[in-house]
Structure 1
Amino acid sequence: MTAPITIDYETGSIEDRPAYPPKPVGVGIYEPGKKPHYYAFGHPSGNNCTRDGAIRVLNKARRSGRPLLFHGSKFDCAVADEHLGIPYPAYTHTYDTLIEAFLVDPNARAVSLKPLAEKELGMPPEEQIELRDWVWANVPKTKGKKKTWAAHICKAPGGLVGMYCVGDIVRTRKLHDLYMPQIRAAGMLNAYERELKLSPILHQMEKAGIPVATRRLARDVPKFERMLELVDTWVGRHLGVKDLDVDKG
């Protein structure tokens, strides 16, 4: 098996479309046989390359013939496609540890990268804590906000974010090395391939939007609401429960 090149983008705040995907401020790249490196080009300080320079490195990785490895490929590839003009890679040249984690343990409470790495690899999120503390200390109205501080990562110095991103691509590669033998041994390669094929399709659907027949929807909603009420009544009668709402379990 050809060793993959691991890629992770750091971006501005993640919002809904049309502001999605967010603009990248840097990208971490981990090539086999080389040290992982963060290419910072959009931070207020601490940048080490230009945007065009990062694009050249990314295109070189795409043309290398090696698979590209991500944690959450749909997000990273959307950033690359819509902001940097780098086409979505073929599923045959893509790996995704988020999908791998789900296949290995579909009942896991979370498939976020850092909790997975701490659980599976014993790698605590030390770089995350250092970056979070910088955001709390330097970005107004963020101190103590555990859920929203990460939206301001782009405002931190490139060098500090670089340590954070490099930690992420190292974690991603180690998780991939852990998960892929398990996926092969369990005979789940077809399921894995199916999910990878679906990712660019979902991206295009999100990008273009999905047409809704509003007139038919306006006609059908009351109809199916009445049917749901009938189901509630029927189930409640058979269970001896008054005012049952099936939707609420």
Structure 2
Amino acid sequence: MKKSRKNFLFLLVFFLFFSLSAAEKQVDFSLLRKVTDGTLNYSTFELTITGSGIPETNVTNLNSARITAEKAAAANARLKIVKIISGLILSEKTTVGAYFEGKGDPDFVDRLVNIADIKDVTYERFYSNSSVDLTYKVNVSGYLRRIVENGKEEFSNKKEPLAASSDETAKTKSVLVINFKTKIEPQLFFSIVTEKGEKIYDISMSKEARKSPASLFFAKKKADAVIEKEKLEGEILSVSALKINGSEIVIKNSDAEKIAAELKKECFEEGKIVVVSAE
């Protein structure tokens, strides 16, 4: 009887352990931020947005009314995407819209967003008056890449980077994970510095073929899912962030020494960096 009870308890613990492991795998560790009528996923740069449309007034055919309402919804979603992208933070408190306004090109984002990209409907709601609400999923990484390339030189951290160890053969780590103990607001031009203010990394040190338009990735609580999805191959070096100073992620001097000694240059060149928010 006692043996049966022990076996039962063992099986129960075994079942609970694997159930919790499976549940953890299903948790979404993407870094999400609410935007006007939608959500921006900073881990994948996918924007979920709802557009509303009403049919043209001179249309009497029900099918034609629906088609014109759907076109209007897509156009409405496009306007919202332009507004959302214009409000994204480039560096510290400079938004995309303010940056291009200052360059004398306030319509840059408006020209950039193509209505042809707004096609993947994930949810739809139709009303008795033939109006419609359509929810779209749009990957905005292409838009952001164009914006980042435009402002790359201006927003690069002008400090000279700390010299890394020249012996690449001794380095074993290819992916850098920076963990925050607090919630962070993403920026497209973050740089990494030491407590002394010495530059470790910024976007000028990456190649244009980097995987992320921001030259680094964002995650919530854990970096694993982003690393797996984006195929960021290689051993991981994990450090803790002390704070954000403007657009600078500040890390310990001792962690900077680890980076210089252990991190391969491919990490910075390819943007194989994951910043983890604690929210």
TM-score, with length taken from structure 1 = 0.24
Give the strand-richer structure, 1 or 2: 2
Rg: which structure is higher? 2
TM-score, with length taken from structure 2 = 0.22
